[in-house]
Amino acid sequence: MSSNGGAPYRSDEPTSFELQPPQPNLPPVVPHPDNPYATPAPPAAPSAPTPDPGTGRLIAGRYRLLAKLGHGGMGTVWRAKDETVDREVAVKEPRVPDHLPERERANAYERMRREARAAARLDHPAVVNVHDVAVVDGRPWIVMELVQGRSLGDALQEGTLGARDAARIGLEVLGALEAAHAAGILHRDVKPDNVMLGRHDRVVLTDFGIAQIEGETNLTDTGGFVGSPEYIAPERVLGQRPGPASDLWSLGVVLYAATEGVSPFRRSNTPATLQSVLNATPALPAAAQGPLAEAINGLLQKDPARRPDAARTRALLEQAANPPVQAATQVVRIPESVKRGIVLGPKALLGIGAAVVAGAVGAYLVVADPFAGPLPDHWKVREEKVLGASLAVPDGYKRGVPDETDDGHWVTYTDESGAIWIGLRLDKKAEDTGNSIADSAAAEMYDDNSDFKEGTAYDLNMAEGARTKPEGETTYQGKSAAENTVAYTTTDSQNPRPREMRIFYYKTSAGNMYKLTVNYPGKGDFTDRGREVAQTAVDNLKIDDL
């Protein structure tokens, strides 16, 4: 292993040699630094963007470079146009530090050629398609399909995946690995940043840059370590001959990270990470249960002979991705009177307190109603006696800790990812000395609606100009209720994020006002999940005193 010239090890450092990143005249934040295959989001409204050096260059007489997409351990990836067939492609430009010896430079170029050969040999929808290798001044430029989407690593920055989504993605990656192994190819760098989430639910395994092709000579760099430490199998750390089980270990770590939010072996530096790969026993996954947990635990066996093979892994992941019909459909057994759902409004969040809301920029709970049918697996009913209501919460969700702003009238539950949160608040008529409770649920909703547009409702870092969709009066168990949906952007100047919030209002016959709020990402892979959670929360809310 390389000492990097005396510099401290980092778990995210380039794995075969140190690559100096490109220095374009653009804002310093690169949207997709670790996954060059994804099309990044537009930069935050630069006043006069300067084209990247090299933009407009024609490669091999047909590939016009349009813009840089990002960079990785082997080079810089450009969005380009194939002018021969008039389509956009991704082109990987080899970038090798000038200070490297000629032998290591040659190894780097040969590794890129092997990446192209490895991917081109595979005919599978979950493997990135390689169109061409253009040699310019002795350097290979890889031309491949442009996958519109983002990496699993980027998606996990917003929160974890549910068991079914993780299993579905795992099945696609497993299919790509099975195709590679059948062709005598080991990927050797399976990690979230190399798993693309494309359009139409497509999952693509990318970056065969360090793949080992059966029958070809091994490439090594002097003192170099090839691979991403926290995803490398123990036998590779020990210098033993890897096999398909080594890639399956990496898949197990990816599935663990997808459901738990972090690799179980990540440490502060590379040596410590490798030691944990060899010796640490990861905690059992909390979010993954049943067949998915069995698959993860099996794939993370230190002894490759004890890991399940691809066929057994596929069977477990299929069970997790397609649970029995009863478990998959039970949450939609709801009465017509509550199908439209329940959400919470601005004033309700004020009672939650800034510290709780800020610390929970995402958590979710789902609420139980006796008419909604049996709860999904791994959920628990939480009775909130002070609020006179019951909530159904997935296992592992944390109840908010009250602070000095707590008046005993609110509760929140937050998952560890922080992507989605749910709050329930009760304003009692007997304590409403300022007559702030409106005459009806719909009137309360419209009062809050104007505050949302001004960005003054709740301490949610909500910018002005939120878009609202008041549904007006609806019903809850046959009685009047109201709801609203609010789309807004956070005020974080460094990283403003789109958020969405559903709010349900219900006023009891005693004049008490309930508000159920579900807050989740406004764009990305977790938006649909957040909306599903919001609907389920509404459908399963139980208020004791109607």
* Type of residue at 157: Q
φ, ψ for residue 279 (rounded to 5)?
Answer: -120, -25
**Structural domain boundaries of the chain?**
57-145, 149-213+224-321, 379-543
Q: 34: which 2 tokens?
A: 């670790």
What is the structure's pLDDT at 294? 94
Active site residue 427: no
Per-residue tens of pLDDT for the chain, all 546 residues: 433 433 333 434 333 333 334 444 444 444 444 555 555 555 555 555 566 778 899 998 999 999 988 765 557 888 999 999 999 998 888 776 666 677 776 776 776 676 666 667 777 888 888 888 888 877 788 888 888 888 899 899 888 898 999 999 999 999 999 988 988 888 888 999 889 998 888 999 987 755 555 444 444 443 344 558 899 999 999 989 889 999 999 999 999 999 988 889 999 888 999 999 999 988 888 778 889 999 999 999 999 999 999 999 999 999 999 887 543 333 333 333 323 333 333 333 333 333 333 333 333 333 333 334 456 666 777 788 888 888 877 777 788 755 444 556 888 887 777 778 888 888 888 888 888 888 888 888 888 877 776 655 555 678 777 888 887 667 887 788 889 888 888 877 667 888 899 998 889 888 899 898 888 888 887 788 788 888 878 878 888 877
- 92 known member of a binding site: yes
Q: 468: which 2 tokens?
A: 């609202």
Q: Give the number of C-alpha atoms closer than 13 A to the C-alpha of residue 538, restricted to the C-beta side.
A: 33
Q: Which helix (H) or strand (E) holds 250?
A: helix 244-260
What is the structure's pLDDT at 255? 96
Closest CA to 516 of 508, 504, 507: 504
- Domain with residues 149-213+224-321, CATH architecture: Orthogonal Bundle (1.10)
The angle formed by the CA atoms of residues 74, 77 and 80, to the nearest 5 degrees, is 150
10 Cα distance to chain centroid: 23
Q: Please determine, looking at this structure, whether the domain spanning 57-145 carries the CATH number 3.40.50.150.
A: no
Closest CA to 170 of 355, 318, 304: 318
CB 344 within 8 A of CB 503: yes
Angle between helices 163-182 and 310-321 (to 10 degrees): 150
Helix (H, G, I), strand (E, B) or coil at 175: helix
Which residue in the list 34, 154, 189, 193 is annotated as catalytic?
A: 189
Helix (H, G, I), strand (E, B) or coil at 75: strand
**What strand order describes the sheet that includes 542-543?**
379-384, 389-394, 542-543
CA end-to-end distance (rounded Å), the chain: 67
Contacts of residue 526, defined as CB under 8 A and 6 or more positions apart, other chains included, come to 155, 158, 159, 419, 420, 520
What is the structure's pLDDT at 176? 92
What is the structure's pLDDT at 468? 83
Closest CA to 119 of 32, 57, 211: 211
Helix (H, G, I), strand (E, B) or coil at 150: strand
What is the structure's pLDDT at 114? 67
* CATH number, domain 379-543: 3.40.1000.10
CA–CA dist 492, 461 (Å, integer): 7
What is the structure's pLDDT at 195? 93
What is the structure's pLDDT at 73? 54
What is the structure's pLDDT at 175? 94
